[in-house]
Structures are given as structure tokens and as C-alpha cells.
Amino acid sequence: MTSYSLVLERVKAVVAETFQLPVEEVSEASSPDSIPAWDSLQHLMLVVGLEQEFAVEFSPEEVEELATVELIAELLVEKQESRAA
């Protein structure tokens, strides 16, 4: 598996846990539009969950960009690569 798909699976798991959904119902396209519970408070819960799980920190600007599961996974891969470099 590529590092993107590994990260994606973990992101889906965090999203599923945060919104109390079965993980199968979470896809790359999942967003506040497709998950009704995804409001601003739940977004914070998600961000904190991701920061914890991936041991990263997001800037306030990045937090606003995390609008879909795909964008989240991409940003995390980017952060991991820049840390490894």
C-alpha cells in the first residue's frame, strides 16, 4: 500500500469514530455536506482526533482547509513527508 492509502484508512477510522459512523460509510469524498453531524464543534473534535492519532498539529489556516476526507489525507501525507525530509 502507498503511504497515501495507509493514511487514508486511518483518517477514515478517525472520521468514523468522531461521527459515530460505520467505517464503510466514510469515503474520500465525505465532507460536511455528506455527513450532517459535521458541524463546527465536531470539526474541532475531528481535528483534535487527527492531531492525536497522527502526532501532528494543524495551523488555523490548515484547519479551515480540511473540508473532505481526501484533503485531510493529502495534507497529512504532506506533513509526514516534510517531517521525514
Partner 1 sequence: MTDPRVQIDEQIAAGRYGEASAALEALWREKPSMLSVSFVESRVRRMADRVPLTACRMFFLRSFTVEPLLPFFKTEALLAGIDVTAECGQFGAYTQESMDPESALYRFRPDVVFLAVHLRSVAPELWEGGEAPARDEVIERTAGAVRNCVEQVRQRCGAHIVIQNFDCPADAPDGLLGDQSGAFHLVRAANEALKAAAQATRGCYVLDYDRFTSTVGRGHLNDERKWLTTRLPVRAELIPALAREWARFLRPLTGKTCKVLATDLDNTLWRGVLGEDGADRLQMDAEYPGASYRAVQRALKDLVRRGVILAVVSKNNPDEAMAVLNHHPDMLLRSGDFSALRINWNDKPANLREIARELNVGLDSIAFLDDNPAERTRVRAELPEVKVIEWPGDALDAPRTIRECGLFERLWLSAEDRERQTLYAQQRERAELAGQAGSLEEFYFSLQQRVTFEPVNARTLQRAAQLTQKTNQFNLTTRRCSEQEIAALMDDPGWMMATASVVDRFGDNGITGLVMAKFEDGACRIETFLLSCRVIGRTVETAMLAAVEQICARRGAREIRGWFIPTPKNAPARGMYAAHGFECIEEVEGRELWSRAAANGKAAPAWIQLTIEEKLLTSDQLFASA
HSE-up (13 A, CA, CB side) for residue 61: 0
Instruction: Verify binding: residue 21, partner 1, rule CB under 8 A.
Output: no
Neighbour count for residue 45 (Cβ, 10 Å): 16
Instruction: Verify binding: residue 18, partner 1, rule CB under 8 A.
Output: yes
Instruction: Verify binding: residue 6, partner 1, rule CB under 8 A.
Output: no
CB of 75 to partner 1, least distance (A): 15
Binding site for partner 1 (CB under 8 A): 10, 13-14, 17-18, 20, 41, 44-45, 47-49, 51-53, 55, 57, 59-60, 63
